[in-house]
Amino acid sequence: MENLRLEVAEQIALVTIDRPRALNALNSATLRELNDCLRELEQRKDVRVILLTGGGEKSFVAGADISEMVNATPAEGRAMALLADEAFCRLENMPQVTIAAVNGYALGGGCEIAMACDIRIASENAKFAQPECGLGILPGFGGTQRLARLVGKGRAKELIFTCDRIDAQEAWRIGLVNKVVPQAELLDACRAMARRILKNGGYAVTLAKQAINAGLDTDLANGLKMEADAFALSFSTHDKKEGMTAFLEKRPAELTDF
């Protein structure tokens, strides 16, 4: 891979988007590499948490690649949006838990890729914005959809219409990020959260993730039905038997399903 780095250790994959000359902006080649990398990772049973970050200290992802879009036709613009949709929907629905380690600028497509992750942890220097309307376009990698779902319709409209850049604390205040930590501690904080997740039943976490994602795209009655189905499925697992037996026997559980 030319624009991505992948390292796997202790059930945690670290995917780094690394295009320093463009502050990790997403061009089509990077989106394709990301999609291929995620397709491979989603099959891996030895990976249960995926951390996504940007190379260098300044930028997570500075957006879609403007130099690629400047002369693009509407058809090419659509193709780019669909390419990103495929990669970001894959990211959103990975069986693994995904954590964006936002280590700097998360602008446009950078904010959008972070929002496709389950959890966002930002360093103190992170900056978020959807600057597309200032470029004469609109967020095209999911921003109009995922931002409103995360921070509410009013705040999403304000951010998208004004193109205001907000810092990590403000992103935390409005619920765009889960946590803010000093930059030097960012990956450690992500790994620490990953380890807390890894202690729990892997398959149960995946089922919970699927129920949350699917439930947010439907009404409450159907969401509750999907939850009941997932709950029933969890009763068929080794982890359910082991987790509950261990509790009753007052010993640590050995949860292994994924």
Choosing from 25, 160, 171, 204, the residue that interacts with ligand CAA (CB under 6 A) is 25
Shortest Å distance, C-beta 257 to ligand CAA: 37
Residue in 40, 68, 76, 112 annotated catalytic: 112
- How far is residue 210's CA from residue 226's CA, in Å, rounded to a whole number? 9
Choosing from 6, 8, 66, 226, the residue that interacts with ligand CAA (CB under 6 A) is 66
148 makes contact with ligand CAA (CB under 6 A): no
63 makes contact with ligand CAA (CB under 6 A): yes
Q: Measured from the CB atom, is 62 or 102 closer to ligand CAA?
A: 62
105 makes contact with ligand CAA (CB under 6 A): yes
Interacting stretch for ligand CAA, rule CB under 6 A, among 29-37, 131-139, 178-186, 220-228? 131-139
23 makes contact with ligand CAA (CB under 6 A): yes
Please indicate whether residue 158 is annotated as part of the active site: no
Spell out the alpha helix ranges (H) of 93-175: 109-115, 143-151, 153-162, 168-173
Please indicate whether residue 112 is annotated as part of the active site: yes
Q: Measured from the CB atom, is 105 or 258 closer to ligand CAA?
A: 105
Residue in 42, 68, 92, 132 annotated catalytic: 132
By annotation, the residues acting in catalysis are 112, 132
The residues of the shown chain that bind ligand CAA, judged by CB under 6 A, are: 22-23, 25, 62-67, 105, 107-109, 112, 131-132, 135, 139-141, 143
